Amino acid sequence: MKPDVLVAYPLRPRFLEALEARYTLHRLDQATDKDAVLAHAGPLCTAMVVNGHVAVDAAMLDRMPALKLAACSSAGFDLMDLDAMTRRGITLTNTSTALVDDVADTAVLLMLAARRRLVQADAYVRSGDWGRQGMFPLTASTAGKRAGIVGLGNIGLAIARRCEAMGLAIGYSGRNPKPGVAHAYFPDPVALAEWADILIVATPGGAGTAGLISAAVLEALGPQGTLVNVARGSVVDEGALIAALRDGRIAGAGLDVFLNEPHPDPALTALPNVTLYPHHASGTEETRDRMAQLTLDNLDAFFAGRPLLTPVN
């Protein structure tokens, strides 16, 4: 008999087909009566497929007494009670290793687009203003500047490699200095922002980093500074960011993530000095395939008794 797996969030179609061929699936994601699915499947399923968009709290875990693996198909797991999982002997896996390059590329994309005013310049050409009004205003260079990275994990390191190749000096902040990393370490984001021309946020989300990029950090970044966020909207004090952009206390921002998604604050989206992307840094066919495959590989490893590929806890 095939093992029972609860699907709280689907994989991409061809990976879902592979999942269905290997396991007996209980489709919580499709259920109109979720309580009924949990009542039936909860005692049977030792594994579940989930995603960062799904809340997995203690109440849900109470309905799944047999659960031992939560295979998350995203990097983020902000809505999941990791402490409760750990206490119950449930391992969470995620797919952060599968999306490093595309997220790092997007950070660079947003940095350059914000500093060179790509969106505004595109509109300037399309509208005919170039012909009517002459050359577009001068913008800010990037080469030779200082890039401060908040969170030097796998994604942060990939961003650092790209920025270094483009001629930027690199600094970073985090809980502790990274062994073997030659870049300048700063004990907190305020100190890093004081040093940096560009501040790139690549730290995990969650309660521990909520509001980490505060009004004081933005003030330290200064009126020529650029903020880039490819982490989570919660990491930035969005009210302080709106005020800093509006008042010219920072020059601009490039944002992939927002506090309220998919409905960002209109006060933010109306500003001319912010470049916006719809939480799509990992949104390529190739990366989403790798994320789905890694989720499937973790499930296969679990049921085969092999070590998990990307355990979080």
The token pair at 97 is 């290793």
Pairing mode of beta strands 226-229, 198-201: parallel
Q: Return d(Cα 251, Cα 227) in angstroms, integer.
A: 9
Closest by CA position to 143, among listed 124, 125, 162: 162
Amino acid at 116: R
- Tell me which residues are annotated as active site: 232, 261, 279
CB atoms within 10 A of CB 2: 11
| DSSP three-state, residue 101 | helix
Kindly list the strands in the beta sheet with 146-150, ordered across the sheet, starting from the edge strand earlier in the chain.
184-186, 169-173, 146-150, 198-201, 226-229, 252-255, 274-276
CA nearest neighbour of 111 among 83, 76, 141: 141
Going by C-beta distance under 8 Å and a sequence separation of 6 or more, which residues neighbour residue 181?
152, 157, 172
Rounded CA gap, 13 and 15, in Å?
Answer: 5
- Where residue 117 falls (left for φ over 0; alpha for ψ -120 to 50; beta otherwise) is left
